[in-house]
Structure formats: C-alpha cells, structure tokens
Amino acid sequence: MRKKIGLYLLFFSLMACKNVYYTLSGSAASGTIQVVNFNNLSGGGPPYLAQKLTEDLKTYYLQNSRLRISNSEADYVVEGDIVEYQVVPLAPGANQQAAQTRINIGVKIRFTDNKNPDNNFEQNFTNYADFPQTTTLAQAEAQKIQEIFDKIIFDIFQKTVANW
C-alpha cells in the first residue's frame, strides 16, 4: 500500500516539474500587431465610432493572444474602414410603424502578415442588432453598437488567427 502511494507521489511530482503550456484562446501566435486607426467612411453613426472599434480590437488581441501592440514595423497589421452604418426600420406593426429597428454596421478589413504574405487578405465583415420600437435610437445605440462590434471583432480575430 505504501509502495503505491509512493509511486503516485513520485508520478505527480514529476508531472508538476514538466513545463507544458496550453492556450484556451486558440491563438498560439506571438510577436507584434499593429491596429491602424479606423476611418468612418459610412457617413453615419456617432462620432466616436471609428475610435471605439480601433480600441476594442486592440483590447481583444491583447486579451486573447500573446501578441503585443506595436505602432510600427509589426509582424501583423490590421487596418480598415467602417463602410456601412445604417438604421433600418423592420417588421411593420400597428399604424404602419416599425415594431423593431435594426442597426447594421459593415467594416472593410485589410490584414497584412509580414511573416507570411500568403495569409494577407481583404474582407468585409458585417453584423447587426435589433431593438424594439418602444426604445429610441438614443437609448439603444451605444449598447447595440457594442453588441455589433463584439461580433465583428470576434469574426476578424478568428479570420486573422486561422492560419497561426
């Protein structure tokens, strides 16, 4: 019995000394990334829209990868423009008023992989969020923009780390 306990202790001691690293983010990339300030070419949305997308994207990369943010000569570069911002009434309700309203946001991304140019791409990412007629745009806009950006940023991140 003591021999079994001794073997178990030895086994677990050896396992504890082993250096094994796991990442749950799905990204094993390390190095630097530059997120260039986005431009809002859509002609709509609040004035902070482009800056918010830029900062939220930087934060996402910092929290979900081992990449460090760089302002120049980075291993990876993400740049782009907000090309669509629309507020659209949906689902006609009573008195021909919309029962819901949808905010659509589209972002055009250019990704440059300076380590492997075969991974470079240019792609549009779009998403939307709905809110009820009983809520005004002023009441819903900030929250819905955050919901949309969360989805778009996740999609951008997944596309950029797919080949790492």
Q: What is the mean pLDDT of each run of 10 residues along the chain (164 residues)?
A: 59 50 49 97 97 98 96 96 96 74 98 96 98 94 98 98 80
What is residue 143's predicted lDDT score, i.e. its pLDDT? 98
What is residue 8's predicted lDDT score, i.e. its pLDDT? 54
What is residue 92's predicted lDDT score, i.e. its pLDDT? 74
What is residue 25's predicted lDDT score, i.e. its pLDDT? 43
For domain 29-161, give the CATH number. 3.30.160.150
Nearest-Å Rg of the Cα atoms of the chain is: 23
pTM, to two decimals:
0.79
Ordered by start, the domain boundaries in the chain are 29-161
Calpha distance 94→99 (Å, rounded): 8
What is residue 19's predicted lDDT score, i.e. its pLDDT? 42
What is residue 163's predicted lDDT score, i.e. its pLDDT? 76
